[in-house]
């Protein structure tokens, strides 16, 4: 197994901004002498002062001993120029996100450092292959992509360009692990793993918003309270900043030669054009001005408990619904599976969405009183569920369906009749993108799930989630979305199809 760099090895970090300072802190904590260089006068010294203040805070909280904090601080040195970095065994670049500027810097470095020195870029969107093309020895260059804030976020993507030597990537992988991080290997492709696979989290929500499915607060609440995501897509976009998020969306879309899978949304363009950049500008999807309150999600008012409740079959959703009804002392009967119905109550039939609209589902199944429920990460624990009601459904039956869910302890948000509701279509598309990344050799299945859990705090890796739902369900949802929209964006990844036909799960 390839060894990590020894702690005796000098690490240079270039760029003393948000990321460079964080990376320098991580390397110094791990025991390396760290030389920090920035072309803005005074920036490196200022960053070192900031890092030392962090060390003091950690010591005050008991997370580092005072001696360890002082020793780590003493290992940080401000460098004046590239020539000062001659003894570095590893240089991590975290400067401005510009290909030419990065290439110029790496060329300058190559003339100074030893042949054994590993060169790494923290770029989040520039091709490692393209940066390497300017180098004499591109085999020693790799991506070492930390997440913000670097001292706190566990994930590091170790990115190999076309010329990167396997040993170089393996040394960086082992070194990141020795620094207490969780590294994953990735091939240099647009967005690497996280910034690519996360696109549908925003894109599907923006689609549903554009089609009038519900307002942002309601969709966010469904993603949090049913999907188990830490932040809903709109609040997350507001936090990232629409300028930044739109730029990443555009860059991934363009880099994939305008593949409709990654198509940006006009809503993003509008937000950027209006200067509604999110939290930092005081206004995004939400208002952040002093005194502004956050809108509440729409919840269906309390409905009467319906009569004749029957829960069907052994699915996870049915088991959870039955347990919840028992917990709330609601009387019901259980019956063997009846098609894909989850429950009936007061004349309504409830099903978990399979990517069709409720109206189409009612038509296809000859069941006018159809109400669809959204996916939940765990139906036993979810506090809210999105539902949609078929156009053919009478209002008494719709109320019965909602009353049933409320009796089981769910807050209910009724969306317009959007195919795949919000959580289901989002998770299906996240899994689809994750599968494509694996299918195209960007990374393996374990890496994509680790990356999404640790890089963007997803409650479950998309492929593990697809396994848990069952690939037939994921594939059906995608097929129905593709049929509805007639867009290539919803094409099913060949790997999902392959695993489905082979009756295998992702592992
Ligand atoms: P930043 O703007 O906070 O810091 C960049 C620093 O680099 C500045 O202090 C600037 O003076 C310095 N600099 C610019 N050109 C230089 C040069 N030629 N030589 C030496 N110093 C130079 O930027 P940030 O956010 O730290 O990003 C740095 C890199 O990390 C970019 O490539 C970015 O894409 C990437 N990245 C950023 C993340 C983020 O959330 N901010 C996350 C992961 C990667």
Give residue 336's pLDDT: 96
Give residue 1's pLDDT: 82
Distance of CA 444 to the CA centre of its chain: 17
For 294-347, what is each residue's pLDDT tens digit? 999 999 999 999 999 999 999 999 999 999 999 999 999 999 998 999 999 999
- What letter would DSSP give residue 283? B
pTM (predicted TM-score): 0.96
Cα–ligand 1 centroid distance for 130 (angstroms) = 18
DSSP string, 106-137: HHHHHTTS-TT-EEEE--SSS-HHHHHTTSS-
SS3 97: coil
Report the nearest atom of ligand 1 relative to the CA of 15. 7
Structure tokens at 218: 């309601």
Buried b (16+ CB within 10 A) or exposed e, 473-499: bbbbbbbbbbebeeeebbbbbebbbeb
Catalytic residue, chosen from 93, 110, 157, 235, is 157
Cβ–ligand 1 distance for 15 under 6 Å, the answer yes
Cβ–ligand 1 distance for 245 under 6 Å, the answer no
204: annotated active-site residue: no
With pLDDT > 90 as the criterion, what percentage of the chain qualifies?
A: 99
Tell whether the model's pLDDT for residue 498 goes beyond 90: yes
Cα–ligand 1 centroid distance for 20 (angstroms) = 7
Tell whether the model's pLDDT for residue 398 goes beyond 90: yes
- Name the residue at shortest CA distance from atom 35 of ligand 1: 123
For 40-96, what is each residue's pLDDT tens digit? 999 999 999 999 999 999 999 999 999 999 999 999 999 999 999 999 999 999 999
Contact 117, 136 (CB under 8 A): no
Q: Where in the chain is the domain with CATH 3.30.750.190?
A: 310-414
Give residue 486's pLDDT: 97
Contact 37, 164 (CB under 8 A): no
Q: At what angle do helices 423-439 and 471-485 cross, to 10 degrees?
A: 100
For 245-286, what is each residue's pLDDT tens digit? 999 999 999 999 999 999 999 999 999 999 999 999 999 999
Pocket probe mutation, ligand 1, options 12, 13, 14, 15, max atoms within 8 Å of Cβ = 15
212, burial (CB in 10 Å: exposed 0-12, middle 13-18, buried 19+): exposed
Model confidence at 19, pLDDT cuts 50, 70, 90, reads very high
Cβ–ligand 1 distance for 195 under 6 Å, the answer no
For 343-391, what is each residue's pLDDT tens digit? 999 999 999 999 999 999 999 999 999 999 999 999 999 999 999 999 9
Q: Say how far apart CA 94 and CA 106 lie, in whole Å.
A: 12
Tell whether the model's pLDDT for residue 211 goes beyond 90: yes
Catalytic residue, chosen from 32, 145, 399, 480, is 145
End-to-end CA distance of the chain: 23
**In the predicted model, what is the mean pLDDT of residues 216-230?**
98
Pocket probe mutation, ligand 1, options 47, 79, 84, 96, max atoms within 8 Å of Cβ = 96
Cβ–ligand 1 distance for 121 under 6 Å, the answer no
Question: For strand 341-345 and strand 348-352, is the pairing parallel, antiparallel, or unpaired?
Answer: antiparallel
Contact 185, 447 (CB under 8 A): yes
Q: Which CATH superfamily is domain 10-188 in?
A: NAD(P)-binding Rossmann-like Domain (3.40.50.720)
CATH number for the domain whose boundaries are 196-281? 1.10.1040.50
Q: Where in the chain is the domain with CATH 3.40.50.720?
A: 10-188
CATH architecture of 310-414: 2-Layer Sandwich (3.30)
**In the predicted model, what is the mean pLDDT of residues 187-209?**
98
Cβ–ligand 1 distance for 278 under 6 Å, the answer no
Q: Which CATH class is domain 425-501?
A: mainly alpha
Q: Where in the chain is the domain with CATH 1.10.1040.50?
A: 196-281, 425-501
Cβ–ligand 1 distance for 40 under 6 Å, the answer yes
Q: What does the radius of gyration of the chain's CA atoms come to, in whole angstroms?
A: 26
Model confidence at 28, pLDDT cuts 50, 70, 90, reads very high
Cα–ligand 1 centroid distance for 146 (angstroms) = 12
Structure tokens at 419: 């195919």
Question: What are the angstrom distances between the C-alpha of 440 and each of 83, 160, 380, 436, 447?
Answer: 40, 14, 36, 6, 14
């Amino acid at each position: 197994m390839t060894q990590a760099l020894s702690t005796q090895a000098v690490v240079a970090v270039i760029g003393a901004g948000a990321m460079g300072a964080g990376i320098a802190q991580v390397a110094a904590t791990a025991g390396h002498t760290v030389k920090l260089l920035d072309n803005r006068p005074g920036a490196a010294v200022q960053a070192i002062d900031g890092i030392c203040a962090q060390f003091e805070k950690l010591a005050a909280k008991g997370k580092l001993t005072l001696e360890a904090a002082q020793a780590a601080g003493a290992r940080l040195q401000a460098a004046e120029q590239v020539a000062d970095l001659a003894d570095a065994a590893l240089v991590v670049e975290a400067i401005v996100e510009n290909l030419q500027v990065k290439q110029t810097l790496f060329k300058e470095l190559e003339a100074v450092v030893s042949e054994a020195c590993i060169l790494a870029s923290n770029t989040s969107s520039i091709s490692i292959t393209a940066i390497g093309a300017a180098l004499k020895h591109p085999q020693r260059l790799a991506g070492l992509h930390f997440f913000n804030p670097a001292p706190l976020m566990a994930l590091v993507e170790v990115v190999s360009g076309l010329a990167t030597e396997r040993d170089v990537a393996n040394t960086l992988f082992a070194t990141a692990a020795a620094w207490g991080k969780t590294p994953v290997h990735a091939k240099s492709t647009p967005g690497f793993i996280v910034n690519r696979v996360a696109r549908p989290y925003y894109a599907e929500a923006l689609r549903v918003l554009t089609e009038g499915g519900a307002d942002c607060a309601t969709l966010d609440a469904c993603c949090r309270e049913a999907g188990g995501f830490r932040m809903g897509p709109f609040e997350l976009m507001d936090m990232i900043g629409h300028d930044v998020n739109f730029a990443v969306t555009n860059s991934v879309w363009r880099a994939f030669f305008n593949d409709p899978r990654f198509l940006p949304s006009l809503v993003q363009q509008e937000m950027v054009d209006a200067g509604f950049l999110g939290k930092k500008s005081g206004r995004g999807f939400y208002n952040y001005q002093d005194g502004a309150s956050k809108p509440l999600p729409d919840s269906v008012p309390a409905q009467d408990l319906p009569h004749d409740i029957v829960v069907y079959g052994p699915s996870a959703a049915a088991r959870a619904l039955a347990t919840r009804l028992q917990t709330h002392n609601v009387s019901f009967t259980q019956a063997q599976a009846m098609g894909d119905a989850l429950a009936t109550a007061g004349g309504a039939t409830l099903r978990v969405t399979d990517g069709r609209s409720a109206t189409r589902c009612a038509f296809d199944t000859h069941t006018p009183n159809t109400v669809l429920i959204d996916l939940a990460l765990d139906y036993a624990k979810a506090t809210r569920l999105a539902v949609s009601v078929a156009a053919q459904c009478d209002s008494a039956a719709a109320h019965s369906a909602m009353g049933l869910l409320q009796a089981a302890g769910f807050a209910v948000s009724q969306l317009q009749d959007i195919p795949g509701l919000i959580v289901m279509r989002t998770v299906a598309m996240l899994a689809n993108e994750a599968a494509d990344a694996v299918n195209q050799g960007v990374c393996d299945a374990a890496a994509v799930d680790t990356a999404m859990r640790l890089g963007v705090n997803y409650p479950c890796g998309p492929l593990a989630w697809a396994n848990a739902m069952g690939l037939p369900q994921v594939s059906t949802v995608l097929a129905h979305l593709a049929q509805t929209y007639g867009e290539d964006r919803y094409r099913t990844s060949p790997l999902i199809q392959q695993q489905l036909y082979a009756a295998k799960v992702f592992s």
